[in-house]
Structure 1
Amino acid sequence: VVTEEPEVIEEPEVVTEEPEVIEEPEVVTEEPEVIEEPEVVTEEPEVIETPEEEPALVDETPETDVLAGSVLLGWDNSFFYDSGDILSLAEVDSYEIIYGATPATMDQTIAINDPNATEYRITDLGTGDLYFAVRVITKQGNASPFSNTVYASIE
């Protein structure tokens, strides 16, 4: 008879540690930050015209210089080529004024043969509404585009 010692089975070790506590996330109860929308401007933007190569017409008639049936047109004499180079006064031969009852019918022409001129009075116009423009003619015979068109009500 063989007498073996009985096999001893060890009992499992019992762990008595406290379980790990997982904290709940913190709940934020603050109001969210409100980002205001930018103010929308609904006005029309101001249009600023930039000078072009041609002269700008200016009606510089003072109240005391108004003559019935006439208008005094004025312009500056600083002109530029399309390239941006300045056109010297020595290159100016003359000016040409056109006018008419509407911008589409400006068919009356006046030649001003003084290259130093910066104004011109047109007389005997009668009464009514007229539109005017001016351009420079160089000694080489080249003409600039016409200036901006201006309006006058002749009394």
Structure 2
Amino acid sequence: MLNPPRSLPVRGRTVPAATGTLLVLEARLEGHDTFLSGTLDVDGHDIPVRITTLDDSTTLQPTQPLPDSFPEHWRATLHLRHGQRPRDIPDDLRAAARTAGRDLDALDDAELRYALTFLGEATTLDIRTDRLTAIVTGLPTLEGDPE
């Protein structure tokens, strides 16, 4: 379940692209779905955007033309209808790691995001089981646990 909508202060710059002007954020959005939509409020203009967050950057693609006076460097409020993506570790992953003596807390934010996405996209129980095994096997052992 997603959290309530959020409004985030953001800063960025405009970058020309073949698909139209892109708005690149100075800091990557953390804890949000990789692909979503929102509204950028810049100087009283509400601009609907598609948001793409990759490994190290977040890009906003306006879905309507930008105002003629849109600055190259800007500050705005990004309104996200979808809120934050949950970061809860599912019980089966937590249990598998505990049983194997592996440390889930060793994962950084990006690694946890990838692991949860990989696991969450399993389409059958067999695939989920195999993915659990793959994730847990890649984790470091818990401190003090002989392997």
More helix by share: 2
Which has the bigger relative contact order, CA under 8 A and spacing at least 6? 2
Q: Which protein has the larger Cα radius of gyration, Structure 1 or Structure 2?
A: 1
